[in-house]
Amino acid sequence: MKKRLIFLFLSCWIAIMATAQDRTISGVVQEKTTKDPLPGVTIQEKGTTNGTVTDMSGKFTLSVKPGAVLQVSFIGMESQEVAVGNSTSLQIQLEASTEEVNEVVVTAMGIKKETKALGYAVQEVKGADLVKVKEPNLVNSLNGKIAGVNVTNSGGAPGSSSQIIIRGGTSLTGDNQPLFVVDGIPIDNSAVGGDSSTGGLSATSTYSANRGLDLNSDDIESISVLKGPAAAALYGLKAAAGAVIITTKKGKAGVPQVTVSSKFRMDVANKYPEYQKMYGQGNNGVADDGTASSWGAPVSGSIYNNMEDFFQTAWSYDVTGSVSGGNENGTFFISMNRSDQNGIVPTTNYIKNSFRFNGEQTKGIFTVGMNTNYIYSQSNKTLTGDGLYGSSGDGAMISLYLWPVNNNMSNWLEGGSRVPLVNNVEPVDDVDNPYWTVNRNPVTDDVHRFIGSGYVTIDPTDWLSGTYRLGVDHYNMYTRSILYPGSAVADTYTDGSVSEIQRENNILTSNLTLSANKKVNDFTLGLLLGHNYEQTTYYRNKQQAIGLLSDFLSINNADEDNKSYSNYRSTKRLYSFFGEFSADYKGIAYLSVTGRNDWSSTLSAENRSFFYPSVSGSVIVSELFSDELKDKFSFAKLRASWSQVGKDAPVYQTATYLNDPVTTVGGGYSNSYTGGNPNLKPETTESTELGLDMRFLKGRFGVDFTYYDTRSKDQIISPRVSMATGYIFQYVNFGTVINKGVEVTLTGKPVKSKDWTWDTSLNISHNDGTVTDLPEGVTLLYVTDVQIGPAKSASIGEGDFLGLTGQRWTADENGKTILDSDTGLPITSTDATNIVGNREPDLLLGFNNSITFKNWNLSFLIDIRKGGDVYNATEYAMVYSGTSKETENRGTTGQFSGVMVDSNGDYQDATSSVELDQSYYQNEYVADASHFITDVNWFRLRSASLTYSLPGSFCDKLGFVKSADISLSGTNLLLFTNYKGMDPEVSAGGSGVVGAGSTAIDYAGVPATTSVAFGVNIKF
């Protein structure tokens, strides 16, 4: 019996000990959004000192007691408590902390700094946010995400450009887009502007890509936007308009990771011009196929939906594959991307292939690395507005918008020849069918580009570091434009023409920096010294043949007398020394002082050296709050900055060009119309910025407010001068551009629970850009190649930078319209210098949202614009041709009120009734620009995405899949606007037009698109 009791006791004791015994669990910790593993995460059993950290692959193992609760924490992430329960394997996902007071962003020269230390405004967009709704053009991905940044897409064509302007333009005749920097080296983001001398492609002939289009969003880790001169001061004269700092992905130590991401996309035109369907081809109410106009009789037969039938549903796909990995001594990241984007205009497309390799290796105190990216792209485009310069032809879009509704446009080819619209006339008096233009007269671009840099970093001590970086951005661009024999063009072009342009652009950058950071008592002091050398080389070679001998499309297929050749080459060098001193007192007060001296080869020896400083500081006033107050006001910072930065002249503006040799009697050479100026000095931009950054309720809500005042003086312009000088224009330093504005960013996490989170931000900005100090007698500055109809883009002296000038009906001193006493019609004027509009928006708002419920995420961006004029030059052309909806009122009686001149020559109030006929619309109506200008408002669902992440348990069962996401996304899904034309986000000449640009000018563009995409992202 005793033995039995002892045996029972031992059995119970063993059972108790077995249930109380520690057991080993394992798991992995990931970042919630990207599903990337997190190394170095602290895992601790609650109430004990028992713990561990995750390895380089984010994995951990730990022995714990039954019923244990794990406390999981990592810098910058929200801490979690996880009950172990009966699990032996855990998958833990951490999300970014709402209290981001120690958030780090990439600033000038690639230097990472805490945001609380910055005395100026910087906003960052994570790579994961760029690819939720992946835009073909990277620049479009920034729309609405950053306060003070205005992005304008030039249209819905594949490969079209997008313009980005930060806090308004700073140059009257120069490029106002910010500097783009990728992994520490400047790159080119320009677009080919209109240049009728190089193949006849003016700014409104076709669209061109900005070279930021070449970058693949899937390769990007983050984008920091340095908004003001103080933020970008270390970059010198190239960053007078701000800087966009792009950091690409690196590998992470641990198990190699393979990622495949694919999107299949559909695009449709989102808004057409309003056109009439009542009247057909003819003039003065009489049907007539001897004219292209639509002022004929009411249509009695078939009415064709030519516009709707012309545009097609466009299908595209984008695939990216990447491999990354490494160990504690080195990492690598390799990616490949293929993007095929078809256009809503038949035959148009944009194809891009991209390969990237980023690698880094550390050995002792040395780190060496390289970032390389090769891109090959092809673009098939069409002429849109104007035809080739000198050809008297038309583009496909303007022909489409003016095509009579009684003519079947799909009937464009017969026996291999063009079917005319206008019968029994010479080709120059006819109009090319849009189908003929897109199929027979293409414009193609082929681009090979390499962006690469190598660097060496030495860290001899924990407070001293040095880096040397050498980089290059090189691309070759080959453009070919065709006019097929038999096109409706001028006589010299009817036998066809071929134009080929080879462009080569190369930016070589050498950069050396030394930095020291040392803590001295309560101060942390920093010193940065650097040297920069940059050389930009541009080459253009053009050849053209007019009057082909047959339909064989080759430069060689023409007589020598009909061939022309030209080339151009430029080289620009920039030498710089720069430095920064920074100080931090107890993490409460921060000060930064910078200085940079540039020597530019584009200016004469006495003016080419210029120095510009900046000073910025911030005070973390919340460090002085009581603990009780910090519960409500968790963070508060005051910041201020002052800075000065220069902008040199474009190449060769200090000298005067010679024209081609004179072939008349006497021979010799003549000066160019524009005289150079050896006394040019750089433009200077001076900026003051004040800001307040506050966070509430432990970071759940926040507000960031900024006020800025930027003045850019000594503008380099070329006004008309006295003929006695020997020139018509001459480069001079005159004029000041002033930008004043405010930016507000509101952030919040209204909902945060176990299953639900809602992150939101609202970006609000207002800018007022004006022009002063123009030369005496100069009141307006125009942008070439964007002058259409009764209104023009202009910068106005003592007025708006983004102004519009144009024709108006004549009026008396009280503003009343003067009516002709004989006809009763308004009296028109050819004076086109009247101020008729301001294209700058009154207010821009971007409302970003991300709502997560368990494995589902809904993200969307609402874009709101208040005010800002848009000039509808497409409507002007349609009214004149008789295709506009407005002209349906023809034949009715219009009532006019104003004043007439009486027998004594005095103005008297009067009214008149006039028939609104073809003559009225073509002579009086189109002569008043106000009929085509709208003060535009819009409410737009810019983008939206719905993503489902497969459960981790499901992926574990598959074995080889770490995570998988399925998404449905779209862009431009809703648009509410008072604008009657197409999408009011327009730029007739694209981003290649400098100065006041062509933003908010709508002329014969490809309609913007609404897109829907299905995507899959899998990590192995």
Instruction: Compute CA distances 651 → 571, 646, 657, whole Å.
Output: 8, 15, 12
Tell whether 690 and 633 lie within a shared domain: yes
Residue 229, in any domain of the structure: yes
Q: With beta carbons less than 8 A apart as the criterion, state whether 914 and 896 touch.
A: yes
Domain stop point among 74, 94, 114: 94
Measured CA to CA, the distance from residue 952 to residue 957 in angstroms comes to 9
Residue-by-residue DSSP string for 488-540: SS-GGGTT-EEEEEEEEEEEEEEEEEEEEEEEETTEEEEEEEEEEEEEEEEEE
Instruction: Tell me what pLDDT residue 237 has.
Output: 81
- The helix or strand, by DSSP H or E, that contains position 3, with its residue range, turns out to be helix 2-20
Q: Same domain for 524 and 586?
A: yes
Asked if 153 and 76 sit in the same domain, the reply is no
- Same-domain status, 527 and 593: yes
Q: Is the pLDDT assigned to residue 505 strictly greater than 70?
A: yes
Q: Closest Cα to residue 178, out of 160, 164, 197, 162? A: 164
Q: Does residue 193 form part of some domain?
A: yes
Distance (Å, rounded) from C-alpha 828 to C-alpha 834?
13
Residue the block writes with tokens 């005395």: 119
Compare 784 and 848 and report the one with higher pLDDT: 848
| pLDDT above 90 coverage of the chain, percent | 58
Residue 883 binned pLDDT confidence (cut-offs 50, 70, 90): very high
| Average pLDDT along the chain | 88
| CATH number of the domain bearing residue 52 | 2.60.40.1120
Tell which of 42, 74, 94 closes a domain.
Answer: 94
660 and 527 together in one domain: yes
For range 677-699, the mean pLDDT: 90
Q: Which helix (H) or strand (E) holds 13?
A: helix 2-20
Residue 908 within any structural domain of the chain: no
Task: Evaluate whether 139 touches 987 at the Cβ level (below 8 Å).
Answer: no
Q: Which has the minimum average pLDDT: 180-184, 621-625, 682-686, 982-986?
A: 621-625
Q: Is the Cβ–Cβ distance between 179 and 235 less than 8 Å?
A: yes
Q: Is 19 exposed, middle or buried (0-12, 13-18, 19+ CB in 10 A)?
A: exposed
898 inside domain: no
Question: Which residue type, as a one-letter code, is found at position 377?
Answer: S
- pLDDT number for residue 15: 45
pLDDT surpasses 50 at 533? yes
Q: Mind listing the pLDDT tens digit for each residue in 84-93?
A: 887 778 888 8
DSSP codes of every residue in 727-779: -SEE-EE--EEEEEEEEEEEEEEEEESSSEEEEEEEEEEEEEEEEE-PPTT--
Question: In this structure, are residues 342 and 378 in contact, taking their beta carbons and an 8 Å threshold?
Answer: no
968 pairs with which residues across the strands? 946, 1014
Q: With 90 as the cut, is the pLDDT of residue 202 above it? A: no
**CA quadruple 138, 143, 149, 153: dihedral, nearest 10:** 70
Q: Render 379-417 in DSSP notation, one character per residue.
A: EEEE--SB-STTTT-B-HHHHHHT--TTS-TT--EETTE
Arithmetic mean of pLDDT, 730-754: 92
> Above 80 in pLDDT, residue 519?
yes
Over the stretch 247-295, which tens digit does the pLDDT of each residue have? 999 988 878 899 999 999 999 999 999 999 999 999 999 999 999 999 9
Q: Residue 465 in contact with residue 518, Cβ under 8 Å?
A: no
Supply the pLDDT for residue 216.
Answer: 94
Question: Six-digit token pair at 68?
Answer: 């244990």
Same domain, 649 and 761: yes
CATH (domain of 607): 2.40.170.20
Contact at 8 Å (CB) between 747 and 702?
yes
User: Both tokens of residue 575?
Assistant: 């030498």
* pLDDT reported for residue 112: 78
- Segment 169-187 shows an average pLDDT of 90
Per DSSP, the three-state class of 219 is helix
CB of 529 closer than 8 Å to CB of 594 = no
Strands 701-713 and 609-620: unpaired
| Overall number of domains in the chain | 2
Average pLDDT over residues 727-740: 89
Reduced to 3 states (helix: H, G, I; strand: E, B; else coil), residue 111 is coil
The whole-number average pLDDT for the span 693-707 is: 90
CA nearest neighbour of 721 among 683, 671, 673: 673
Residue 18 confidence (pLDDT): 43
Spatial distance between the Cα atoms of 704 and 691, rounded to a whole number of angstroms: 7
CB neighbourhood size of 661 (10 A): 9
For residues 174 and 37, membership in a common domain is answered with: no
Chain mean position to CA 376: 20
Residues 762 and 677 in one domain: yes
Amino acid found at 498: V
Tokens of 186: 């400047």
795 has a pLDDT exceeding 70: yes
Answer yes or no: do 606 and 704 share one domain: yes
Whether 187 maps to a domain, the answer reads: yes
Q: Which one, of 600, 611, 609, lies nearest residue 649 by Cα?
A: 600
What pLDDT was estimated at residue 113? 79
Q: How many angstroms from the chain centroid is the CA of residue 151?
A: 5
* pLDDT, mean of residues 98-108: 67
Listed in sequence order, the residues at least 6 apart from 81 whose beta carbon sits closer than 8 Å to its beta carbon are: 46, 69, 70, 71, 72
pLDDT classification of 962: cutoffs 50, 70, 90: confident
Pick from 744, 847, 783, 717: nearest CA to 994:
783
pLDDT confidence band for 2 (50 / 70 / 90):
very low
Q: Which of 587, 23, 421, 479 is nearest to 206 (CA)?
A: 479
Same domain, residue pair 791 and 842: yes
Q: Which domain holds residue 74?
A: 23-94
CB atoms within 10 A of CB 538: 17
As a whole number of angstroms, the distance between CA 156 and CA 368 comes to 42
The answer to whether position 903 is within a domain reads no
d(CA 715, CA 801): 13
Q: What is the mean pLDDT of residues 823-852?
A: 94
Query: Is the pLDDT assigned to residue 549 strictly greater than 50?
Result: yes
> Which tokens go with 443?
């414009």
End-of-domain residue from the set 94, 109, 141? 94
Instruction: Kindly tell me if the per-residue pLDDT of 1 is higher than 80.
Output: no
pLDDT confidence of residue 781 = 85
State the pLDDT confidence band at 656, using cuts at 50, 70 and 90.
confident
Q: Do 82 and 177 sit in the same domain of this protein?
A: no
Q: Which residues contact 350 (CB under 8 A, 6 or more apart)?
A: 136, 158, 159, 209, 339, 341, 343, 377, 378, 379, 380
- Position 909 in a domain: no
pLDDT tens-digit map of 236-258 = 888 888 899 999 999 888 788 99
- φ, ψ for residue 929, nearest 5 deg: -65, -25
Which candidate, 651, 650, 655, 648, places its Cα nearest to that of 675? 655
For 135-145, the pLDDT digits (tens) are 989 999 999 99
pLDDT of res. 305: 94
Between 536 and 4, residue with greater pLDDT: 536
**pLDDT above 70 coverage of the chain, percent:** 94
97/78 Cα distance (integer angstroms):
5
In a 3-state reduction of DSSP, which class is residue 788?
Answer: strand
Q: Is residue 348 part of a domain?
A: yes
Instruction: Output the pTM of the full model.
Output: 0.89
For residue 19, the model assigns a pLDDT of 43
Tell me which residue of 873, 874, 882 sits closest to 916, measured CA to CA.
Answer: 882
pLDDT score recorded for residue 657? 81
406 and 474 in a single domain? The answer is: yes
pLDDT tier at 4, thresholds 50, 70, 90: low
Cα 441 to Cα 155, 202, 434, 549, distances in angstroms: 20, 16, 10, 17
What φ, ψ does residue 384 adopt, rounded to 5°? -110, -65
- pLDDT tens, residue by residue, 8-42: 444 544 444 444 467 788 888 887 766 777 877 88
* CA-closest candidate to residue 352, choices 380, 333, 371: 380
